[in-house]
Structures are given as structure tokens and as C-alpha cells.
Chain A
Amino acid sequence: MFKHYFELVDNVAIYPIISLTIFFLFFIGLGIHVMRMKTKHIEELEQLPLGDDDIQPSNPSMP
């Protein structure tokens, strides 16, 4: 049906190469970024789920 449209794309073979390059560079970048993240910031982030326990209301009918 729509394969006709893809046939019109010039040099379509270059797309896989481009995407591989994007992937590769992205992961290199991601790796470097993660290595360089400040430990203090990381600690802040990983505490996010744990912070809200103090706002659990106490229930008067609790045993």
C-alpha cells in the first residue's frame, strides 16, 4: 500500500548508518554524563520516593 512512497526516498540505505551513529554517540554521551554526575545530586534524586513517609496521616482507629 504505502511501500510505494518509500521507493521514492533517495539513498534510503544511509538511514540505518545514521541511526547506528546516533545510538552510539547517545550512549557514549549518556555514559560520560552518568559518570560525571555529582554524588550529592544523585543522593537527592534517589531519596525522592522516600521523602513522603512523614505525611502519612495517623489514623485514630488504628489498633
Chain B
Amino acid sequence: MITQEKTTENAHTKPVLEQFAYDNKIVRAFMIATTVFGIVGMSVGLLAAIQLFYPLFNFETSFLSFGRIRPLHTNAVIFAFVGNAIFAGVYHSMPRLLKAPMFSKTLSWIHFWGWQLIILAAAITLPLGFTSGKEYAELEWPIDIAITVIWVVFGWNMIGTVLKRRERHMYVAIWFYLASFVTVAVLHVVNSFELPIALFKSYSAYAGVQDALVQWWYGHNAVAFFLTTPFLGLMYYYLPKAANRPVYSYRLSIIHFWSLIFIYIWAGPHHLLYTSLPDWAQSLGTVFSIMLIAPSWGGMLNGLLTLRGAWDKVREDPVLKFMVVAVTAYGMATFEGPMLSLKNVNAISHFTDWTIAHVHVGGLGWNGFLTFGMLYWLVPKMWGTKLFSVKLANTHFWMGTLGIIFYALPLYWAGFTQSLMWKEFTGDGFLQYPNFLQTVTQIIPMYVMRAIGGAIYLGGVFVMVYNLWKTAAQGKFIAEEKAEAPALKKNVRVTGGHWHSVLERKPVLFTVLSFVAILIGGLIEMVPTFLIQSNVPTIAAVKPYTPLELEGRDLYIREGCVNCHSQMVRPFRSEVERYGEYSKAGEFVYDHPFLWGSKRTGPDLHRVGGGEYGNSWHYKHMYDPTTMSPGSIMPPYPWLLKNDYDKEGIKKKITAMRTLGVPYPAGYEEQAVKDMEQQAQAIVADLKKDKIETQPDREIVALIAYLQRLGTDIKEKETPSEAEATVTE
């Protein structure tokens, strides 16, 4: 029960209505940005999709090769397309829910231009090969700092608005916005601990297993708190708006919110099942992932049931059509996610295109369609007119839906097919398909169909742009919407009510509690690996990389090899047979950053070193992969044969690695260049035996050195401590 104690004399007078206006200009700016970057991001995705069956489209230039284009695609769609859509929705819905304009127009515009500049920086640096090597966190340290600053501006603007609101209670959408802000800030900062060594080069502060754990704690929660919770906020606002009826159950939305933010943060390790991550952490990830079904489906049903009694509207209103498919896609993806987190399912799905299909059901269906629904609803309102063509919107809807189906189904098929081929044994106990390439060429038709699906989906977006353009042209932009509401009286003390109602009135306390909720999960997940030595058994034979290998590793990172090649042999008979001894946690202790990868478009490389493939094989293979593996879809890397690596830079790198805990002896950086030259000379001499002439300071030489080192530490000599390490696992 809420009681108001009126302490002023004019308590009996009518509340004074305050006049104010909602700013639509900033909303329009973010809407344009999401549309433009949607098209850019999806086009780059289409290019990457085509490269997978037509390597010619790598254009033999470093800037457009798949390893650099793929992170450009993911960054563009996640942070530019979805990011700007979130901001458009927040800047539109938040003032209206709180009956107050955004806190500061200046902050709004700093946020807008800052974010677009970050996107621009990403679009320039990623094709240039400046990357941290960590998935969805590829941007280098100066951009990481810029993201932090702009993100704080966004949060400041939101919390400022909340504080000067005229509506006492914060609607559930606002909670989702605030929690997203707080969590993304924590995730981004923790995962971005890195040691800069140059303007656009840094090393992750974490190594190996710990880096993997931090990265996927971040990576999974980027999905959770960038692609999901802000969009749930948008769903809770725009779906009732579009259907013109309140959300099905507000009670359920409260439970939905708290359980989602409490549970999501624990689920990250499901990206690392069967890897060298300690078992307890893997199990923790699985358990919490299964638990996630409950809040996710609670939220999905809450969305769909909002339309109870209004399903006839869904037949006519394109906005609702898009939203229904979006929420349905959310439901499918959040059921599939937990299923993929079961170890037995993950054993099949992981490293295959199944994962790609899964994320695109979420990305194209949930994020894409909710954004489109929101835009179709917003543009007519903001331009004071009606949608130019409902027919075109329906065309877009069907193109989008068919696009998703054509995209996802072939990739599910491809994922299953390839995984089963990897695991197939002959009656005599040999691998049925010992050549990895056989399992790739098998699924190329699926890659073609996926690109067709993506093209249809992108075509639909162009239809939308035309439709919205015409809609805007026939109306007149309403830059400001006037509104009025009584102020919240500061001298009115509201007391009582349930504790959660109290919470809803106290935004700062609310934000702090959300922060605590997500922090507990993160800490419990990560602290033990830092704390308990036995979680990462050390292996005496594992030594730091030589300077040349370290240089080669940086080239491996620059070219984005990790996008297609894992370095993680899982403990399955089929993988040990194909690649060699399974990977041990202790083998990665000097890996800043870890390069386990998440997808095998090509074979695993953890045991590629020392033997089977000679230096000349690698040399020729990098120049043109099809000469060594006819039918290979790997892009050629001719520039590695021409360019020189930076020999003097190695000093800084060795020093940086030592700072991070890699045991190079003191003063070793002075000797590093000499050692580098020596090792390079040996490789050059070996290549010469196969009639290949090259120089010791060519990039290819460093890369070969790194590839030949991979996984050899425990191959070379069986030491007692290594044997012990195997036993402890």
C-alpha cells in the first residue's frame, strides 16, 4: 500500500502540469544509422558467405580476405546495426516512459557521433589487420577506450533521465536498459585488459585457459546483454504499443527480468565444452544454460500472449507480423542454445556451421525482425503519416522470413553432415574421411544456398528502405513532440509498498543491485581458475615461443586465421586420430591471447607443427592453397611472401610478454633479434633444398616458424610432469 505524506501547504492545489518536448531528431539519427549499417554489415556478411564457396572473392588482397572480413561483418551487425537500433529505441521509448526528455541533448549527440566514429574506426582497422584476436572484441585498445567513454556517456544520459523523471515507477523496459548498460560496461572493461605495445597492437592480459574463460564470459554475455536484454526492453515497449494492449503479465516480466540477469552471466563456459577448461567450469556453464530456458521462454510467452485476442491484427499489421516472428525466433534460439550446451549435443555441433545457423536465427530473426518492426512503427509516427505501402512491407516480411529459412536450414544440414563425416570410422577402425577437405567440399552446395538466403534477406531490407523513404517523403518530420505532465514532487515522501515497488522508485539502488547480481556470477565463474593452481596443471616441457615464432603468431592473429582454424583438439577418438594428442590446459599458459577458435572451416591446427607438413609445403600452401589441396576454399596469402616483418619490434614484444608473466630471462630482448635471424636462416636454408628462394625477414618465414612450433612442446619429449598433468585431468 502506497501512502503519500504531503508536507507542503499547497498540497491541496491541483498539480501543475509542466510542459516539455520529446526530441525526435536523435531518434531519427540513430534510425538512419541502424539502417545504413544494417545494409553495410549484411553486405559484408554476404561477401564473406560468397568467399566460402568462391575464394576468388577474396580478391587476393589482404584487406578483403575472409579472416579480416568476417570480424568486420560480426562487428558491423552487432555493434553498428543492432547497437544503433537499441539506441534509437531507447532514446525514443525512455523519455516517453519516464515523461521527461533525455537528460542532455549534448550527451545524446556526443553518444551518437562517438558511436559512429567508433564504427568508422572499426571499419578501417579491421581490414588493415589490427585485431586483438578475441572474437567480438577484436577492436584494438584505443578503440576499446573510446567504447568505454561513449558507453559511459550513454549510461550517464540514461541515469540522468531516470533521475529527473516525472513518472515515479520505472516500467520494466527501463530495467532492461539499465541492466544492459551496467553489464556491458563490466564485460567490456574486464575482457579488454590488455597491454598495449603499439598504437594498434596489444596483448591480452590473460593467457590460455583463463583468457578463454574471460573471453567467453564476455562473448556469451555480449549475446545476452547486447543482443538480448536491450531488445527485450524494446519488446516490452513496442509490442504492447503496436498491439495497443498491455503486456500479458507484468508479474511475469518482473520474474523474467531478475532470473534472466541472474542466470545469463553464468552460462559462458558452454562455449568451451570438451576443451581444456576445467570440468567443473564446463558443468557450471551447462547447468546454467539449461536453467536459462525458463526465463527465456517466460519472456517469449509473455510477448506472444500479449497478442491474445488480437491475433486478427497480426494478419493485417506488418509491424506485428515482424514482431511475432522476432519473438518466435527468440524462443527458438533460446531453446536451441541450452540444447547446444548439453555436452552430447555440443560434441556434434561445436566447431560446425550448426552454431552459425543458430546465431543467425537469433540475429536475423530476433534482432533483425524486431528492429524492422520497430522502424515500421516509428517512421509513420515520427513523420506524422501512414506507412507508404503495407504491401511492400508484407513483401519485405516474406523476403525476410524466406531469407532466414534459406539461410538457416542449409547450414543446419551442413553442420550435421560435416560433424558426422569428421567422426565416421571405417570397419577397420580408420577415419572414413581422413582428408579434412573432403568434409568441406561435401557441404559447399549448402554454403551456396546460405548465400542465396542471405541475399534474399538483404534484398528485403532494400525494400524496407524504399518503403520508409517514401513514407517519410509523404509526411513531415516532427522534430519535437510536445507533452505535459506534473512534476514528481521532491518533498513528497512515498513510503510503503512492497520492497520491489520501493526498488522501482529508486533507480540508483536498482542499478547497483543489478550490478551485484551480474558480478556474483562472473566472479564465481572466473575467480577459481585464477585461484586454484591445479586448475591449470603446468607442463614442464611447455616453453615460451621463440622470437620468430612470437612474430609469426602475431601474423596468424593479424590475418584472422583463428576465424577458420581452431587450436583445440578435443578428447574424442575421432579428433585424436585426425589431429593427434588432445589439447591440455597447460599447453596454453604463454598464449596471450588464446587462439582456440570457435569454428573449423579448415582443420584444427594445434598439432600441425613439427613433421607431417614441411616448410616448403606451408610456403606453397600460403601462396596458393589450391596447389597443395585442390579444391581448397582457403584464400591465398601472396603478400606474406613479399612483405617483411618488423624485426626491431620484437624487443617490445618480448618485454611486454615478460610483463604479462611469460618467463623470458631478463635482458633477453637484446638477444632476441639475433635468435630470430638464426631461426629464420635455418628455415630459409631448408626451403632452399626444395628450390624455394626467399629472404629470412619475409613474413612467411615467421609464420612457418609459428606453425611448425604449434603443439610440439609435448610431442617432443614425454617428461614426468607432463605425464602427471595428463593424469590429473
Q: Which residues of A contact B (CB under 8 A)?
A: 1-3, 6-7, 9, 12, 15-16, 19, 22-23, 26-27, 29-31, 33-38, 41-50, 52, 55-59, 61-63
Contacts and interface: CB of A to CB of B under 8 A. Distances in A.
B530 A2 contact: yes
A36 to B, nearest CB: 7
Interface stretch (B7-15, B212-220, B253-261, B419-427): B253-261
Given A42-B251, A52-B96, A56-B381, A61 B171 contact: no
Interface string B94-110: 00110100000000000
Interface in B150-187: 167, 169, 171-173
B537 to A, nearest CB: 15
Contact of A50 (B241, B478, B530): B241
B691 interface: no
Given A9-B531, A42-B250, 9 more contacts: A30-B258, A31-B255, A41-B497, A45-B171, A49-B236, A49-B240, A57-B478, A57-B481, A63-B386
Nearest to B247: A46
Contacts of A57: 384, 478, 481-482
Contacts of A43: 246
Interface string B366-380: 000000000000000
Contacts of B259: 27
A63 B254 contact: no
Contacts of A34: 251, 254-255, 500
Contacts of B247: 46
B246 A46 contact: yes
Contact of A26 (B250, B258, B386): B258
Contacts of A29: 499
**Which 10 pairs from chain A and chain B are nearest by CB?**
A59-B384, A46-B246, A3-B530, A6-B531, A48-B171, A46-B250, A34-B251, A55-B483, A61-B476, A42-B250
B244 A50 contact: yes
Given A55-B481, A57-B482, A62-B475, A37 B251 contact: yes
B527 interface: yes
Contacts of A62: 384-385, 475
Which residue among A9, A12, A34 has the maximum number of chain B CB atoms within 10 Å of its CB? A34
B499 A15 contact: no
Contacts of B574: none
B246 A47 contact: yes
11 contacts: A2-B530, A7-B531, A12-B527, A33-B499, A37-B498, A41-B2, A47-B246, A49-B241, A55-B483, A59-B384, A63-B474
A30 to B, nearest CB: 6
A1 B500 contact: no
B251 A59 contact: no
B531 A48 contact: no
Contact of B97 (A7, A49, A59): A49
A3 B624 CA distance: 45
A44 B247 CA distance: 12
Max chain A CB contacts within 10 Å: which of B251, B259, B262? B251
A49 B384 contact: no
B64 interface: no
A48 B246 CA distance: 9
B446 interface: no
Given A23-B262, A57-B478, A36 B498 contact: yes
Contact of B524 (A15, A61, A63): A15
A9 B530 CA distance: 12
A43 B661 CA distance: 58
Classify chain B's interface size: 35 or more
Contacts of A41: 2, 497, 501
B478 A59 contact: yes
Interface of B: 1-2, 93, 96-97, 99, 167, 169, 171-173, 205, 236-237, 240-241, 244-247, 250-251, 254-255, 258-259, 262, 381, 383-386, 474-476, 478, 481-484, 497-501, 520, 523-524, 527, 530-531, 660-661
B524 A19 contact: yes
A36 B660 CA distance: 53
Given A6-B527, A49-B97, A49-B237, A30 B255 contact: yes
A30 B367 CA distance: 29
Given A6-B531, A19-B524, A27-B258, A59 B498 contact: no
Contact of A58 (B236, B384, B527, B661): B384
Nearest to A59: B384
Contacts of B2: 41
A7 B527 CA distance: 10
Contact of B173 (A22, A49, A55): A49
Contact of B520 (A6, A22, A36, A46): A22
B178 to A, nearest CB: 15
Contact of A49 (B171, B255, B482): B171
A56 to B, nearest CB: 7
Nearest to A35: B251
A21 B258 CA distance: 16
A33 B530 contact: no
A29 B530 CA distance: 33
Contacts of A48: 97, 167, 169, 171
A48 B166 CA distance: 12
A12 B476 CA distance: 63
Of the candidates A7, A33, A47, the one having the most CB atoms from chain B within 10 angstroms of its own CB is: A33
Residue among A23, A43, A48 with max Cβ neighbours from chain B (10 Å): A48
A61 B262 CA distance: 49
A50 B246 contact: yes
B234 to A, nearest CB: 11
Given A19-B524, A33-B499, A59 B481 contact: no
Contacts of A52: 96, 99, 483
Contacts of B381: 56
B102 to A, nearest CB: 15
Given A42-B250, A56-B381, A57-B482, A30 B244 contact: no
A41 to B, nearest CB: 7
Contacts of A47: 246
B385 A63 contact: yes
A45 B173 CA distance: 11
A20 to B, nearest CB: 9
Contacts of A38: 1
